[in-house]
Amino acid sequence: MSDDQQRPVQPDTPEPGPPQSLSKNALKKAARAERFAAYKVERRAREKEAKKEKKRMLRAKCAAGEIGEDEKRRKKKPRLHFGGRVVVDLGFDDKMNEKEIKSLCSQLAYTYSANRNATYPFSLVYTSLNGRTLTRLEGMNDAGYKRWTNTEWWPESYERLTVGSQENIRHNIIYLTADSEEELTELKPEETYIIGGICDHNRYKNLCLKRAKESGIRTARLPIGRYLASLPTRKVLTVNQVFEILLKWVETKSWEEALYAVVPKRKYQIGKSVSSMANSDNAEDREDRDEDADKPDSSVVVIEQAEAVEA
């Protein structure tokens, strides 16, 4: 047998080509992600050291008698539960693009952070948790949302609230929407308030209103037009802004104070009366709704900050 017959036939293998080069946008994104990862590690190290130093100084002051028991008690912020419940309806996953999903998750993190630091926190329930919203939350800070205190996460719809409930209980469930004909006058501890968890840039008209009507529950709108008449007619706010307004009302019992404390100042100018407020530019409204989505993983930063407070 010849050498050619003994030698096994080698399959033809293509010559390795030049490595595929990334586009400029992909390179920029990769560099930005790398910078942010390095920044996050550095920031966490700084925060850890700052926390240690703060505890050390506090112990030193206590040992020296510079901080008395009264001051210690004052430093401990009292937290009294209002009794009411806020539900964020996440059942709009199919109506948002990826950028809007990212922005929504940032808003959810801000709601938790605001509730965590509130004097009168609500019980928070997030419903219809699934799809891309769930996937993004799972990927944020090692699924940090599962460690949020005083919160519940339901894969089911908010309609679980009404299953087998009596008519008086159903009457105490209110879906907040700017399209409602009824204006909310006050918050009651026995009531549940639903906020539509959607970042849609005002594409879908009457979406939450129709949803609530199909469920047979009440709707109401915040009294924004009464105090901030210069805002756009439909008065679209982010999920966390609506939630923070509710928190502020519980604290102050004043819609005017709550609205002025939460709505960005650039959206209006304070005049002699509500009717004298100047109209704001629509581009600023869009900018305000987009500002979370444009930040790299801003929701991760908020979650870490909130968890640092709990630590």
Query: Which residues are catalytic, by number?
Result: 200
> Around Cβ 168, how many Cβ atoms within 10 Å?
8
- CA count, 13 A, side-chain hemisphere, 218: 16
Per residue in 224-248, is it b (16+ CB within 10 Å) or e — as a string?
bbebbbbbeeebbbbbbbbbbbbbb
DSSP letters for 52-94: HHHHHHHHHHHHTT-S-HHHHHHHS------S-EEEEE-TTGG
Sequence-distant (≥ 6) Cβ neighbours of residue 177 within 8 angstroms: 196, 208, 209, 212, 219, 220, 221
Cα 180 to the center of its chain, rounded Å: 23
- CA count, 13 A, side-chain hemisphere, 225: 13
Sequence-distant (≥ 6) Cβ neighbours of residue 104 within 8 angstroms: 90, 96, 133, 197, 198, 199, 239
Q: DSSP character for 150?
A: T
Please give the Cα distance from 11 to 43 (Å, whole number). Answer: 54
Q: What are the backbone angles phi and psi of residue 127, rounded to the nearest 5°?
A: -110, 165
Cβ atoms of 129 and 153 within 8 Å: the answer is yes
Closest CA to 258 of 273, 247, 270: 247
Q: Which residues lie across from 192 on neighbouring strands?
A: 85, 173
Cα 90 to the center of its chain, rounded Å: 11
Cβ atoms of 275 and 297 within 8 Å: the answer is no
